[in-house]
Amino acid sequence: MVSVYVSVGSNIEREKNVRSAIAALREQFGELTLSTVYDCKAVGFDGDDFYNLVVGFETDDGVQAVAQLLQEIEVEHGRTRNRQRFVSRTLDLDLLLYGNLILKDDVICLPREEITRYAFVLAPLAEIAGERRHPMSGKRLRDMWAAFDGGSQVLRPVQFDWELPAAAVATE
């Protein structure tokens, strides 16, 4: 089994899409470790705020299979891929870490470079995997977060009740 960490983000129907993405990931991988959900400004473009979090799980699936599954879940949530990097998204699932694998090919870059660039990736990752070491730098993720200078990158924690949809469905 390998430990995998995935960032989850949405700024289009963000609560619905984040909840649905977590359900899809649970269905595929079983037990998940979830970080706090953060409300964050869009980075690199003018757009609605995002909900962001990081999810951790264990799997026997290979890295290519995990990456493919993440793309399939994005498509199921209405994600369309285009050449523009900074655009609004129904769902963005990025493979951050796959064990200690270091890989760079046409599709996958591990560890994901955004870990060292964006508070909305590093903070929730450090929250659920703080003792883990970055595969390239060897630094603990919690130490990287403590030293992070995000400037204007503000993270606002969201009170997110993961049980709400199940309760709402039961009463209908």
SS3 at position 116: helix
Q: Which CATH class is domain 2-171?
A: alpha beta
Residue 152 has pLDDT above 80, yes or no: no
pLDDT digits (tens, 9 = 90+) for 28-39: 999 999 999 999
How much of the chain, in percent, has pLDDT values that exceed 90?
A: 74
Nearest to 57 by CA among 83, 31, 21, 76: 31
Q: What is the mean pLDDT of residues 41-45?
A: 76
pLDDT, position 168: 45
pTM above 0.85, yes or no: yes
In the chain, domain spans:
2-171
pLDDT, position 172: 28
